[in-house]
Chain A
Amino acid sequence: DAGVIQSPRHEVTEMGQEVTLRCKPISGHNSLFWYRQTMMRGLELLIYFNNNVPIDDSGMPEDRFSAKMPNASFSTLKIQPSEPRDSAVYFCASSFWGEQFFGPGTRLTVL
């Protein structure tokens, strides 16, 4: 298995632009998680899905952030419009029974 796949690995954009991060979970996993990691705030859970349904989005910082999971093999995290304070590493993880498997992350820089 290829593991959790995230794209792009690096993204540099300008303030105000729309950013879309993508994630392909491990086949057979029924839960998907989006995290954000920064030096100041550490690892934060943004949102998670169970069987493609959003269960807890309390970590989504504001309305500029949205996430979708149209099917069991794909999810997106969108930021519109982006701001410099959104600069971070964004991780996607998937799980079947407790243990989460993390992707390599997308390093986002908003100028």
Chain B
Amino acid sequence: AQSVTQLGSHVSVSEGALVLLRCNYSSSVPPYLFWYVQYPNQGLQLLLKYTSAATLVKGINGFEAEFKKSETSFHLTKPSAHMSDAAEYFCAVSEGGQGAQKLVFGQGTRLTINP
């Protein structure tokens, strides 16, 4: 069965610093992988997705993630944090492989940006 582990339930960085949110997955079949962001009092919004094309995926708001099969990782990065990046971030893997409808979500990482 597919699963997702997000390392660190809370991450705090200074404005302008590198953002690194860690995600490791477990999947017995080639996966689709996703990062979602949730701002306060809102639903989840897709940041980016990996669907077996390029291993480096660029998303909205300057975020990107790299699929590393050997490490079963899909870490999310942004070179320079902005105050507006403060939110909760969820990593997800498609259950059943590519194109499967059901997603398995990680527990989320709350990102705080310090001025």
A interface, CB within 8 angstroms of B = 4, 31, 33, 42-43, 45, 48, 50, 55-56, 91, 93, 95, 97-105
Contacts and interface: CB of A to CB of B under 8 A. Distances in A.
Given A42-B107, A43-B90, A105-B43, A99 B102 contact: no
Nearest to B105: A43
B99 A100 contact: no
B103 interface: yes
Contacts of B90: 43
B42 A43 contact: no
Interface in B31-80: 32, 34, 36, 42-46, 49, 51
28 contacts: A4-B43, A31-B101, A33-B102, A42-B107, A43-B108, A48-B102, A50-B101, A55-B102, A56-B102, A91-B43, A91-B44, A93-B43, A93-B44, A95-B101, A97-B99, A98-B32, A98-B51, A98-B94, A98-B98, A98-B99, A98-B101, A99-B34, A100-B46, A100-B103, A102-B36, A102-B45, A104-B42, A105-B43
Nearest to A45: B102
A55 B96 CA distance: 14
B18 interface: no
**Residue with the greatest number of chain B CB neighbours at <10 A, chosen from A4, A91, A97, A104:** A97
A99 B25 CA distance: 17
A102 B105 CA distance: 13
A105 B44 CA distance: 9
Contacts of B98: 98
A57 B49 CA distance: 26
